[in-house]
């Protein structure tokens, strides 16, 4: 079993959250936070900052680690290990990239039916300010066969 380390960043503004519509590649056609592969030679947080800049055109240096999610797919050896961050302090105007089209959403109007199915399970923990850890077993890209999800005190 090998693990692929990925970042995922959510930018918050009072009652709003910044999501991006994935225009191509993995997760295409779904809204999500910003993130991607963590490269060799960078920390996970540095990778998260880099991807946020590349995908949304905003720069933040004050990310808070809020979640750790592992995703396994039936029949596939690679486990995705997603490190979730949030920030309220950033500079720059969210800008469309070739990967992502950013848009602000009211936190009570998050388009879960156009997002990864796990999001509706852990978003409530993120939105209430909790830290969380979870494991999800997927069959394909639409069905969660089983999962566990728990709040944690700190990372």
Ligand X SMILES: CN1CCN(c2cc(NC3CC3)nc(N)n2)CC1
The two tokens of residue 134 are 């979870």
Minimum distance from CB of 62 to ligand X (Å)? 20
Give how many residues touch ligand X by CB under 6 A: 14
Which of 20, 36, 47, 102 is the binder for ligand X (CB under 6 A)?
A: 36
**How far, in Å, CA of 38 to CA of 46, rounded?**
8
Q: Work out whether 35 is an interface residue with ligand X (CB under 6 A).
A: yes
Q: Does 138 bind ligand X (CB under 6 A)?
A: yes
Separation CA 25–CA 21 (nearest Å): 11
Distance of alpha carbon 115 from alpha carbon 139, whole angstroms = 16
Report d(CA 123, CA 8) in Å as an integer.
13
Query: Between 46 and 85, how does the x/- string for binding to ligand X read (CB under 6 A)?
Result: -------------------------x--------x-x---
Shortest CB 26 distance to ligand X, Å: 6
Q: Which residue is nearest to ligand X (CB)?
A: 116
Rounded CA separation 49/51 (Å): 6
Burial tier of 53 (Cβ tally within 10 Å: 0-12, 13-18, 19+): middle
**Pairing state between β 131-139 and 64-73:** parallel
* Closer Cβ to ligand X, 27 or 57, answer by number: 27
Contact positions with ligand X (CB under 6 A) in 95-134 = 116, 118-119
Binding site for ligand X (CB under 6 A): 6, 8, 26-27, 32, 35-36, 71, 80, 82, 116, 118-119, 138
């Amino acid at each position: 079993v090998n693990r692929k380390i990925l970042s995922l960043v959510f930018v918050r503004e009072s009652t709003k959250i910044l999501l991006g519509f994935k225009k191509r590649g993995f997760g295409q056609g779904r809204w999500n936070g910003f993130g991607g592969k963590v490269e060799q030679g960078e920390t996970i947080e540095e990778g998260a900052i880099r991807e946020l800049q590349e995908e949304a055109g905003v720069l933040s240096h004050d990310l808070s680690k809020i979640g750790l999610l592992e995703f396994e797919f039936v029949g596939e050896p690679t486990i995705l290990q997603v490190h979730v961050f949030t920030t309220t302090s950033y500079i720059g105007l969210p800008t469309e990239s070739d990967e992502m089209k950013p848009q602000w959403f009211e936190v009570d109007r998050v388009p879960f039916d156009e997002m990864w199915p796990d999001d509706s399970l852990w978003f409530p923990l993120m939105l209430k300010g909790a830290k969380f850890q979870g494991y999800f077993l997927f069959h394909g890209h639409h069905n969660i066969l089983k999962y566990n999800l728990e709040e944690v005190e700190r990372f």
